[in-house]
Structure 1
Amino acid sequence: MPNYKILFLDIDGTILTPDDTIEDSTKIAISEMRKQDIEVVLATGRPIHEIKGLGEELNISSYIGYNGALGIYEEETIFAEPMHANDVKYILDVAKKHNHKLVLYTNTKNYLTDLDSDLVKTFLQQFHLRQNEIFSEEVIEDILGMTIITTGNNGEEHYELNDGIHLSQVNVEGMQHCYDVIRDKVNKGVGIQFLLKKLGIERESSIAFGDGMNDKEMLSFAGEGFAMGNAHPDLFKHAKHRTTDVTDSGIYNGLKKLGLL
């Protein structure tokens, strides 16, 4: 059996169930990995400043956030890759034209183009975003990631993005009209490569779990990539393994398959 040293976990649909809870089996699995000296890292599209409470609950202090744009290891920032201001401006312009709403993330705040829209309020409630302000051009150089909230009518088709940027549908019930902006060279896969290199850990010693298309690069690169049973259908081909649903001990069963539990 390989000498596993690090575990990367997505949050929504992987750790968190649809009713926003964490199964006891998931907590047990994470605790057992720590007992075996396996590092545990939260790898998410969410802003890190909004998930510190979850990290504390699970005794985790290392993160890859904003879909790979910011990495923190044991509370120390190890990399940060803001988006190009021109790309941010283009998306802002298209969103305004089609009445889409945007959530733009810096390392301390969530900036929104509209705080009063019902679509925005639902999004903020779903992902527990609290550090919210109206977007200002003053922070355009500091944007680490973006989410586009469309009206649900193939709105993503309006964005003719530069090479190296694509949209990833949010794989959460009721949020499929939302799209994360993903950069080919800044994503969870690139983030975990950077962290593995910094820690001197071989690719083969890494494990990753995810459920959304923003996890495909991470699952493809990890030594043992697991797609949750509830994953986006297109994700399975990018993962070495398929485990059970987030509501059916998916993380626990995957680690058990590797002989770690």
Structure 2
Amino acid sequence: MIKAIFFDIDGTLVSFNTHRIPDSAIKAIAKVKSKGIRIYISTGRPFSLINNLNEIQHFIDGYITTNGALCFSGNDIISCTPIPIEDVQTMIAFSDKMRFPCMIVGEKDLIMYNSDERTDVIFRQMLNVQNLREDNRLEAILQQRILQLTPVISEAEEQIIMPHMKGSVSSRWFPDFADITARDANKGNGLMNVISYLGFNPEETMAFGDGGNDVSIIQKAGIGIAMANAGQELKEAADYITSSVDDNGVYNALKHFII
């Protein structure tokens, strides 16, 4: 019996085209919640940049954020896995040298460092992300534990940078940037931390995703579901492939398994 379902946001719950949750998904989640199943969000976004879940906010029991680096339920921090400070300093140096924007996400706040026109095109226009806090002071952010680095770099640039960051790993859910977290921080480990907190078993969970950063949680969940708009690696890891986010994918999978 499924006791908890974990949903990625962008490309899974929320359409890249409309920036909204389809009505069918909202109705399906309401039905699932009425059965006593817990609802968790599993996202690469920091919590402060989650701006597109208002229609299901009252159903959500907790969050895996920043690709598993920070997991919480209400006011309870379940787990926090920061990036080694030397890796943070390495990325800042590369950002200065190669002149690319990099989101630096602290425990409480963030900054879009070295922001340029790509920040507006990728984050505000394509992803509808606001509150990027370019005006914050880097020194203040570095006083916090750093949960995630999101540099706007190509895969080729990523291959140059990552060998210098020994305590970190990189993943992508959008082609124009990478999400970098501590080596042990990923959505799959986030799921394990949450269910340990809840007293559930992996077999009692279901997870939905569409990006490369969802592979670990799809593999760890009792039932891993890939959207039709997912990449091939994720589809191969999944137990089930549903239709795309714009073709009622969440509803169709939940109808197949639960409702």
The two structures have a TM-score, normalised by structure 2, of: 0.90
- 1-side partners of 2:96 and 2:173: how far apart? 21
SS at match of 2:180: strand
SS at match of 2:246: coil
Contact 1:62/1:75, CA 8 A, preserved across alignment? no
AA of the residue aligned to 1:8: F
In the other structure, the counterpart of 2:31 is: 32
In the other structure, the counterpart of 2:130 is: 129
SS at match of 1:67: helix
Post-superposition offset of 1:154: 2.8
Task: From 136, 140, 145, give the equivalent of 1:142.
Answer: 145
Deviations 1:143-169 (A, max 9, x none): 11111102x473222212445533222
Contact 2:225/2:239, CA 8 A, preserved across alignment? yes
AA of the residue aligned to 1:121: D
SS at match of 2:14: coil
- 2-side partners of 1:15 and 1:184: how far apart? 26
In the other structure, the counterpart of 1:167 is: 170
- 2-side partners of 1:77 and 1:53: how far apart? 22
Q: Which moved more, 1:154-163 or 1:190-199?
A: 154-163
Post-superposition offset of 1:124: 3.4
Contact 1:109/1:131, CA 8 A, preserved across alignment? no
Is 1:51 equivalent to 2:50 in the alignment?
yes
In the other structure, the counterpart of 1:11 is: 9
For structure 2, the 5+ residue unaligned runs are none
In the other structure, the counterpart of 1:225 is: 224
Contact 1:61/1:75, CA 8 A, preserved across alignment? no
AA of the residue aligned to 2:150: T
AA of the residue aligned to 1:88: V
The alpha-carbon distance between structure 1 residues 119 and 182, as it changes in their structure 2 partners (threshold 3 A), is same
- 2-side partners of 1:201 and 1:64: how far apart? 16
The count of residues paired between Structure 1 and Structure 2 equals: 252
SS at match of 2:185: coil
AA of the residue aligned to 1:189: G
The two structures have a TM-score, normalised by structure 1, of: 0.89
Contact 2:207/2:223, CA 8 A, preserved across alignment? yes
- 2-side partners of 1:191 and 1:235: how far apart? 17
- 2-side partners of 1:82 and 1:254: how far apart? 34
Contact 1:48/1:107, CA 8 A, preserved across alignment? no
- 2-side partners of 1:56 and 1:249: how far apart? 16
- 2-side partners of 1:222 and 1:153: how far apart? 28
AA of the residue aligned to 1:139: I
SS at match of 1:247: helix
Post-superposition offset of 1:61: 4.2
In the other structure, the counterpart of 2:109 is: 109
RMSD of the alignment, in Å?
1.9
- 1-side partners of 2:184 and 2:227: how far apart? 24
Deviations 1:4-39 (A, max 9, x none): 100000000000101201111110111111101000
For structure 1, the 5+ residue unaligned runs are none
In the other structure, the counterpart of 1:180 is: 179
- 2-side partners of 1:79 and 1:178: how far apart? 25
In the other structure, the counterpart of 1:249 is: 248
Contact 1:113/1:135, CA 8 A, preserved across alignment? no
Greater helix fraction, Structure 1 or Structure 2: 2
Contact 1:211/1:231, CA 8 A, preserved across alignment? yes
In the other structure, the counterpart of 1:190 is: 189
Contact 2:170/2:179, CA 8 A, preserved across alignment? yes
Contact 1:104/1:146, CA 8 A, preserved across alignment? yes
In the other structure, the counterpart of 1:202 is: 201
AA of the residue aligned to 1:74: G
- 1-side partners of 2:222 and 2:183: how far apart? 20
Deviations 1:169-213 (A, max 9, x none): 233xxxx12111144411111111011011111110100000111
